[in-house]
Chains A and B, each alone.
Chain A
Amino acid sequence: MTGKMAIVGDGDSIMVFKAAGVATFPVTDEKKARETLRRIASEYKIIFLTEELAAPLCDFLKRFDEEPYPVVLVIPSNKGGTGYGEEFLKGAMERALGVDILFNNEK
């Protein structure tokens, strides 16, 4: 089974992905992002989403956690990372293991 890839984000960050051959969906606000995700979720298997948009959509993104596809990956935009990835890892670790095995040496 082959799947297509898409990126949802603000225009500046995602243009370079377009040149690389990833389908792009420029959105600027939370509401639009939600609509777009809902629309493309069945068509695209892998969806990249920029961090600024992902943060308010946290609960909405949970619905994708039930099935293997689509895979939604949150990536930093051109404004730099917001630490979303780290937060996510911490949350998952806490739920599954109850202890922090990755970041404890940093504090």
Chain B
Amino acid sequence: MARLNVNPTRMELKKLKARLSTAVRGHKLLKDKSDEMIRRFTVIIRENKALRDEVEAELAQTLKQFSVARSVTPAYSAETAFSMPTVAVKAECGVKSVMGVDVPDVSLIEEKRVDGLPYAFSEITSEADHSVGKISALLPKLIKLAQTEKTVRLLADEIERNKRRVNALEYIMIPQLEETIKYIRDKLDENERASIVRLMKVKSKQ
């Protein structure tokens, strides 16, 4: 490991010692942070998997049902019926912090519609009604999934970055500092011995 390019003086030694203690403390803190983040990540990713499986199954079923419903309705009447929604769903978007990472915190704002469906019953078959209802019911779950998945993404990035920092400290910074400190100490000791020997020699000649 290469040592830092510094002058072997007491001043530098003092500075480096301070840096080393900061680096060691920082390393410990970051390592703890990394451990905790990984623990939370495993919880969230399990939740995400369960939610994803559930949502995908339900969504696939609903969409299949909807295509059946659509196929029995003339295309133009389906278009007109579905293109005028009575409500626009909105979501409350907040930000919460998971281990210092800002992650989205979303919840659906419930808006009760007056008649339930955005079209007249005579236009569309009941299968379509059913699938529209199902999608509406599925929306909170979809939003939850969107939130957890984003959290997983953000947390994964942060864990990766943090790991890099921990490794840089552990395998580069700290060994480098230790080696430099050792080098300076050796050099200073050597100087001291040299001066003692010099003094002894001078004394013995007198």
**A60 interface contact, C-beta 8 A:** no
Chain A residues within 8 Å of B90, by CB? 2-5
Chain B residues within 8 Å of A45, by CB? 91, 93, 104, 106
10 sampled A-B residue pairs with Cβ under 8 A: A1-B93, A3-B92, A5-B89, A5-B90, A19-B85, A19-B132, A20-B132, A68-B104, A73-B142, A101-B45
**B100 interface contact, C-beta 8 A:** no
**A15 interface contact, C-beta 8 A:** yes
Chain B residues within 8 Å of A16, by CB? 62-63, 66, 82, 128, 131-132, 135
Q: A12 vs B52: C-alpha distance in the bound complex, in angstroms? A: 22
Which of B16-24, B153-161, B198-206 sits within the interface?
Answer: B153-161
Among residues 106 to 136 in chain B, which have CB atoms less than 8 Å away from a CB atom of chain A? 106, 109, 111, 117-119, 128, 131-132, 135-136
CB distance from B200 to the nearest CB of A (A): 60
Among residues 69 to 99 in chain A, which have CB atoms less than 8 Å away from a CB atom of chain B? 69, 71-73, 75-78, 80-81, 85-86, 88-89, 92-93, 95-97
**B87 interface contact, C-beta 8 A:** yes
Interface residues on B, range: 35 or more
**A35 interface contact, C-beta 8 A:** no
Q: Which of B128, B142, B149 contacts A88 (CB 8 A)?
A: B149
Contact yes or no, A19 B104, CB < 8 A: no
Which of B42, B55, B149 has the most chain A CB within a 10 Å cutoff?
B149
Chain B residues within 8 Å of A32, by CB? none
**B46 interface contact, C-beta 8 A:** yes
Among residues 39 to 66 in chain B, which have CB atoms less than 8 Å away from a CB atom of chain A? 41-42, 45-46, 48-49, 52, 55-56, 59-60, 62-64, 66
Chain A residues within 8 Å of B103, by CB? 68
Chain A residues within 8 Å of B83, by CB? 18
Contact yes or no, B38 A96, CB < 8 A: yes
Contact yes or no, A102 B146, CB < 8 A: no
Q: Which of B46, B132, B150, B156 contacts A95 (CB 8 A)?
A: B156
A sample of 14 more A-B contacts (CB under 8 A), given A20-B136, A21-B85, is: A1-B92, A4-B91, A18-B82, A19-B81, A20-B89, A72-B146, A78-B63, A81-B60, A89-B49, A95-B156, A95-B157, A96-B38, A97-B41, A101-B42
Interface residues on A, range: 35 or more
Chain A residues within 8 Å of B82, by CB? 15-16, 18-19
Which of B41, B85, B135, B153 has the most chain A CB within a 10 Å cutoff?
B153
